[in-house]
Amino acid sequence: MAEASIAPRSLMLVLHDIAPETWPDYQPFVQAVDQMGNVPMTWLVVPDFHHRNPLTRSPTFCRLLERRLARGDELALHGFYHADEGPAPRSPGEFFMRRLYTHEGEFYGLDQAQAMQRLEAGLTLFAQQGWPVAGFVAPAWLMSQGTREALRQLPLRYTSTPQHLYRLPDFTAYDAPGLVWSARSAWRRGLSRVVCDWQRKRWQGADTLRLGLHPVDMRHRSSREYWLRTLDDLLQQGREPLTKSAWLERQVVA
């Protein structure tokens, strides 16, 4: 495990599942964050969300992302379709991960060649748009061994899981604990609040904290307000907001 150099405590605000159809969910939240001052965000962009949101057909949305880049935000590649279309699960464990835990683990079952094809397609789209890209985050953070091997061969600087950022190509791990909600139902939202409150206390001394937001969080007042309040609290505590790339650049391997 790599150790971070001494630096002010920080936070990373990460917006998952960015696509034309999810922008209306996020827009009021982003506007509220912008009113807090200079809070850079990392936007996890899906090139063709669920096969119905190709960015190439949404020039207005692409221009919006370009404005966010100019503002100091970061765009990262977040899968390609964000949908698991692989063969049916072949074991109880695989069934749990791909059907109960999530239906969107696109890179969970891909071999190296399949993963490379989708990663290169995503990077090509970013290049065509003129967008810099340093990171890849697999949908639901689920990566096959083939995906890991493909990432070692590409000009990307990082990937991540719920508790770590990994410097590529060698997968050097850095502690970066994350808070995330499951907001699809009332009981999930209630449980998420309890768990995240406990995690915040547990990690109050952590060098950095990640806030991992999803479009469904924005559709419910309780979860949306939780994230705004948590962000404000962490800023008031003196945590510096950073993009993932900016945070990783400050880390030094011991």
31-42 pLDDT, tens digit per residue, is 999 999 999 999
CA-based torsion, 64, 70, 72, 74: positive or negative: positive
CATH number of 10-249: 3.20.20.370
Q: Name which of 221, 165, 143, 156 is nearest 12 in CA terms.
A: 165
Whole-number Å distance between alpha carbons of 37 and 40 = 9
Average pLDDT, the chain: 90
Residue 126's pLDDT is: 97
Whole-number Å distance between alpha carbons of 154 and 136 = 10
87-96, 136-145, 226-235: least confidently modelled range: 87-96
Q: Is the pLDDT of residue 56 over 70?
A: yes
Helices (H) and strands (E) in the chain, counts: 9, 9
Give strand ranges (E) for the chain. 10-18, 41-45, 74-77, 158-161, 164-167, 172-175, 178-180, 208-213, 240-241
- pLDDT band, residue 84 (cuts 50/70/90): low
Q: Is the pLDDT of residue 254 over 50?
A: no
pTM (predicted TM-score): 0.91
Burial of 158 (0-12, 13-18, 19+ CB in 10 A): buried
Residue 86's pLDDT is: 57
- pLDDT tens, position by position, 98-137: 443 446 668 988 999 999 999 999 999 999 999 999 999 9
- pLDDT band, residue 82 (cuts 50/70/90): confident
CB 168 within 8 A of CB 157: yes
Residue 100's pLDDT is: 39
- pLDDT band, residue 90 (cuts 50/70/90): low
